[in-house]
Structure 1
Amino acid sequence: MSWSDHAIWWHLQPLGFLGAERTALPPGEPPRHRLPALADWLDHLIALGCNGLALGPVFASETHGYDTTDHFRIDPRLGTEKDLTELVERAASRGVRVLLDGVFNHVGRSFGPFADVARHGTASAYADWFVPEGDDFRTFEGHRHLVALNHASPAVADHVVAVLDHWLDRGVSGWRLDAAYAVPPAFWRTVTDRVRARHPEAWFSGEVIHGDYAGYVTEGGLDSVTQYELWKAIWSSLNDANPHELAWTLRRHNAMLDVFAPQTFVGNHDVTRIASRLREPGHLAHALTVLFTVGGIPSVYAGDERAWQGVKEDREGGDDAIRPAFPADPSGLGAEGLSVQRLHQSLVGIRRRHSWLVRARTQVHTLGNAVLTYTADDPGTGAAVAVALNFGTEPAAGRVPPAHWTHAAGDPVIDPATGSVSLPPLGWSVATAAGT
């Protein structure tokens, strides 16, 4: 196993989390040293059972972080390079790795090379970094303020390699590659091959919403991609009390695991929070159980461990509710949602004790109108995990293979001798069996 096989990420958006200004600081303004405050959250992250801090954009940008203006400079609203490197060092001293968010599909219009092209046109040394389109340049999904980079340009590849190397040299462990789906896989392959020659342990996860997930990994040289299919199937199947959708997706998930370990989640900075998405609050435990008992590299979006609410809206500022400012330190969270945090700790603990789950395939044993049971096992040792979920509000029955099951979380409803399962309304259960 590589280090990434043991990673469980706690994911946050620094600009929102730290209450930064909505737009870039005026020229000449001193930096706001906000990043050091994240060190005060390391205890919280570790107490959850996580060992990775996945940061949203930290580089100089115009507004929300995804309109980068300088990949080599920390956004002054967050601090300085020294602030980031000291955070990385403090995290490393606690056994916590740091993941950065790299936006390399597009840039803000005040990005230095684009500003030069805007001034000098085809005479600019950066003319081939962008693609003319009509009376302007190609943009990202119609957003004029997000100018797409020309990934056919060797100079753009050189730039991205230089950025990745620069921050890996300063101690970060890997990268989330924003909008990876919009970039040709051949570009990622060129970049990742070059970076791995210098940083062989670096981990690259691409944001891929739909399409050929495995293809982006194999053709692009990535280690992982975001598993949006599983995310959607979890909340959708629970809301519809339709475990068939989730079972179908788990079969596809198994096929992905033949190639790579997907990055799994039930919440992130781009989607409505899971506690707001689920129509039945009792289904939150089901969603988290699936997240931590199926293969993949899981992440927890900051605030979800306290069942925070937040609905994403399709408008300017529509991400504000899902990217709120947090208290200065964990003591400011109070007691609200503490039971959900303890649930996270319990399920992450199961995951930690069964690290082989990262590449484990699931086998469905009961698939009914509102009930789903499945197991995952470690072929090397015979260790196993059994999961039983009742999506409905009536008692339900199912089965798993008989084994020396030990109750681990949820309702103690699995009979080790027979494998029979008797679930109460909205019930759920996790049991484990030791291997040799």
Structure 2
Amino acid sequence: MAEPTWVRHAVWWHIYPLGFAGAPKQALPAGAAPEHGLQKLIPWLDYALELGASGIALGPVFASETHGYDTTDYFSIDPRLGGDADFDDFIREAHARGLRVLLDGVFNHAGRSFQPFKDALAHGPSSPTAQWFKFSWPEHGTVTGSEPAEPDYADFEGHHHLVALNHDEPRVARFVADVMKHWLGRGADGWRLDAAYAVPSGFWASVLAAVRPDYPEAYFVGEYIHGDYPAEVTAGTLDSATQYELWKAAWSSLNDANFYELASALERHNSFLDAFVPLTFVGNHDVTRIASQLKDPQLLPHALVVLFTVGGTPSVYYGDEQAYRGVKEDREGGDDDVRPAFPESPRDLSPLGQDVYRLHQQLIGVRRRHGWLHSARTRVLSLTNEHLVYEASPHDPAVENESGEGRGIVVALNQADRAAELEVPAPASVLLAGNGTVDGNGRISLPPRGWALLSAGS
């Protein structure tokens, strides 16, 4: 599948709405007044535009039991975030600014309060929705005390409150397609497919075959942490997949003073680009924030430079652009630190994050002036443990550079605590960003932990 043309210019600002809005950790009691958390996001849309984003990637917004990934009603906005009117307001305000909206679809599993699951438990194997799940029914009406024993069922990675759907059941595929079309019809521009790696690729192909004819401009990106990305994207007829390999290399090559790892990841990344354009990131709602992940905070610009100078559709996780810190822990509530509430408006942000915010603006600006970076390929020019020079260039040699700023970008990175002088192509004499000094004769001087982006010439 060819991705929609608008994605070529997409830069996402990724928000986890329940955390952003400071919503309660648990679902509201039945009958409680909604809290309209989505309205708290609207004052930040201009901020996203000023950052350089062209779209908002929302985490879960549908009714759920706790964190949003235990959905209970796929056709209702979580009352902690409001209702249909709040969703419509958000879509209208985002689109009025030219911002696309990506929704988070949790279609591998559901919460235990999902009505089809409750019906199946109540009515047993003969329930119309019993085949929606992978039950192991007790034999001969086994009882525990006076109550029938609850059947065992497949769950998501051992989390028994997350009930796995049966993706071999055609009615599940039709249900998911109906959900997607419902919210695309209300103005969404695409879907992130949570835990796509746990779902048979044929399921996605079946669902999207039913959705794409009605919404040919919708964008579908699957969450894949490991595996054969190109094969999964192709078999599932997806547009993209999350690029966790590049995420890991971006920070661990800096922590370990090992640019060979990043160079290897860039080579792999080129091979992925032959099949699809990955969703790239250095932070999201499931991982330790990049400012905390790095042992040396002075190397944060290096990770951002990689994000914005390689092929891909970049995503910036809210707060990362302000150098927010947060560590993900493997415990109950261990995600809270990376899913914080934001203040009421950008005016309330601490000034301590402004330098990193301006750096994001600068790098996104470079990317926008070189639109071909979306599908660019990289070529390593020189490499040591602590120094890396690579060139990003248009994949299609016939690409016209409308900006007049050269046909490629040379990236020079120094993660050492001492200055470095590195070789670059002689035409790369125009400094686009960074703190290097070029001599015009094929050399660039970088300060300790310095970096530079250079125009590769015409």
Q: TM-score range by the shorter chain?
A: over 0.9
User: Aligned letter for 1:364?
Assistant: V
Task: Give the CA deviation at 1:123.
Answer: 1.6
Q: Which residue number corresponds to residue 438 of structure 2?
A: 414
Task: Give the CA deviation at 1:273.
Answer: 0.2
Task: Give the CA deviation at 1:193.
Answer: 1.7
Tell me whether 1:374 sits opposite 2:390 in the alignment.
yes
Choose from 2, 13, 17 the match for 2:16.
Answer: 13
Question: Conserved in 2, the CA contact under 8 Å of 1:365 and 1:373?
Answer: yes
Question: Conserved in 2, the CA contact under 8 Å of 1:292 and 1:298?
Answer: yes
1:31-430 aligned at under 5 Å gives the runs 31-133=34-136, 135-378=151-394, 379=397, 380-381=399-400, 383-403=407-427, 405-415=429-439, 417-430=440-453
Question: Conserved in 2, the CA contact under 8 Å of 1:242 and 1:391?
Answer: no
Aligned-partner Cα distance in 1 for 2:301–2:136: 49
Q: Deviations over 1:384-436 (max 9, x none)?
A: 11100001112223222221531111113333x3322222210100112464x
Runs of 4+ in 1 over 3 A off after TM superposition: none
User: Aligned letter for 2:124?
Assistant: G
Question: Conserved in 1, the CA contact under 8 Å of 2:65 and 2:71?
Answer: yes
Q: Which residue number corresponds to residue 26 of structure 1?
A: 29
Question: Conserved in 2, the CA contact under 8 Å of 1:390 and 1:425?
Answer: yes
Aligned-partner Cα distance in 2 for 1:260–1:334: 38
Q: Deviations over 1:79-98 (max 9, x none)?
A: 00111111111110100000
Aligned-partner Cα distance in 2 for 1:67–1:409: 43
Q: What is the SS of the residue equivalent to 1:253?
A: helix
Q: Which residue number corresponds to residue 146 of structure 2?
A: none
Aligned-partner Cα distance in 1 for 2:193–2:423: 41
Aligned-partner Cα distance in 1 for 2:432–2:95: 31
Aligned-partner Cα distance in 2 for 1:143–1:104: 15
Q: Deviations over 1:146-204 (max 9, x none)?
A: 00000000000000000000000011100000000000001001111211111001000
Q: What is the SS of the residue equivalent to 1:336?
A: helix
CA RMSD of aligned residues (A): 1.2
Aligned-partner Cα distance in 2 for 1:309–1:211: 29
Aligned-partner Cα distance in 2 for 1:79–1:258: 42
Task: Give the CA deviation at 1:71.
Answer: 0.4
User: Aligned letter for 2:111?
Assistant: G
Aligned-partner Cα distance in 2 for 1:28–1:92: 32
Q: Deviations over 1:15-65 (max 9, x none)?
A: 010000111111111111121221100111001000100000000000000
Aligned-partner Cα distance in 2 for 1:30–1:282: 46
Aligned-partner Cα distance in 1 for 2:165–2:262: 37
Task: Give the CA deviation at 1:73.
Answer: 0.2
Q: What is the SS of the residue equivalent to 1:369?
A: coil
Question: Conserved in 1, the CA contact under 8 Å of 2:229 and 2:241?
Answer: yes
**In 2 relative to 1, CA 65–404 (structure 1 residues): closer, same or farther, beyond 3 Å?**
same
User: Aligned letter for 2:438?
Assistant: I
Aligned-partner Cα distance in 2 for 1:193–1:375: 38
With normalisation by structure 2, the TM-score equals: 0.93
Aligned-partner Cα distance in 1 for 2:136–2:316: 39
Aligned-partner Cα distance in 2 for 1:414–1:318: 46
What is the number of equivalent residue pairs in this alignment? 434
Q: What is the SS of the residue equivalent to 1:197?
A: coil
With normalisation by structure 1, the TM-score equals: 0.98
Which stretch shows the higher mean deviation, 301-310 or 133-142? 133-142
Q: What is the SS of the residue equivalent to 1:198?
A: coil
Structure 2: where are the runs of 5+ without partners? 138-150, 401-405
Aligned-partner Cα distance in 2 for 1:298–1:224: 12
Q: What is the SS of the residue equivalent to 1:181?
A: helix
Aligned-partner Cα distance in 1 for 2:83–2:231: 37
Task: Give the CA deviation at 1:330.
Answer: 1.0
User: Aligned letter for 2:116?
Assistant: P
User: Aligned letter for 1:101?
Assistant: D
**In 2 relative to 1, CA 298–14 (structure 1 residues): closer, same or farther, beyond 3 Å?**
same
Query: Which structure has the bigger radius of gyration?
Result: 2
Structure 1: where are the runs of 5+ without partners? none
Aligned-partner Cα distance in 2 for 1:348–1:312: 27
Task: Give the CA deviation at 1:132.
Answer: 1.3
User: Aligned letter for 1:389?
Assistant: L
Aligned-partner Cα distance in 2 for 1:386–1:419: 12
Q: Deviations over 1:134-156 (max 9, x none)?
A: 74110000001000000000000
**In 2 relative to 1, CA 434–401 (structure 1 residues): closer, same or farther, beyond 3 Å?**
closer
Task: Give the CA deviation at 1:334.
Answer: 2.8
Q: Deviations over 1:351-373 (max 9, x none)?
A: 11011101000010010121000
Question: Conserved in 2, the CA contact under 8 Å of 1:371 and 1:397?
Answer: no
